[in-house]
């Protein structure tokens, strides 16, 4: 299901879907982006780098819960321009 924030990145499928219908997908960021802890702490736990694929496992508001290659999970708040794989 295509969420509103990603509507430009892929073919729309009838608008935003409930979080329960989220299907994990691989994505890459166009520029380095901070990844914040799921606990809402203000300091990033990691940085997502261009040229690396990450797994989006859940929608969190306008952001995504992303999993890094070493298994850490956090919130990507800025999903502008991400490339879906």
Mean pLDDT, rounded, for 62-77: 96
pLDDT for the residue 16: 47
Considering the domain boundaries, does residue 57 fall inside one? yes
Residue ranges making up the domain that contains 37: 21-84
pLDDT for the residue 13: 41
Considering the domain boundaries, does residue 48 fall inside one? yes
9-63 pLDDT tens trace: 443 344 444 556 899 999 999 999 999 999 989 999 999 999 999 999 999 999 9
Considering the domain boundaries, does residue 40 fall inside one? yes
CATH number assigned to the domain comprising residue 45: 2.30.30
pLDDT for the residue 28: 98
pLDDT for the residue 15: 44
Token couple for 43: 């300091």
Q: What is the dihedral of CA 23, 28, 30, 36, to 10 degrees?
A: 70
pLDDT for the residue 75: 98
Q: Cα–chain-centroid distance for residue 43?
A: 18
């Amino acid at each position: 299901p295509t969420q509103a924030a990603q509507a430009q990145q892929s073919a729309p499928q009838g608008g935003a879907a409930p979080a329960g219908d989220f299907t994990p997908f691989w994505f890459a960021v166009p520029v380095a982006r901070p990844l914040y802890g799921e606990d809402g702490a203000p300091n990033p736990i990691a940085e997502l780098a261009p040229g690396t694929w990450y797994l989006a496992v859940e929608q969190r508001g306008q952001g995504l819960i992303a999993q890094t290659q070493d298994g850490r999970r956090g919130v990507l708040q800025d999903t502008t321009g991400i490339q879906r794989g």
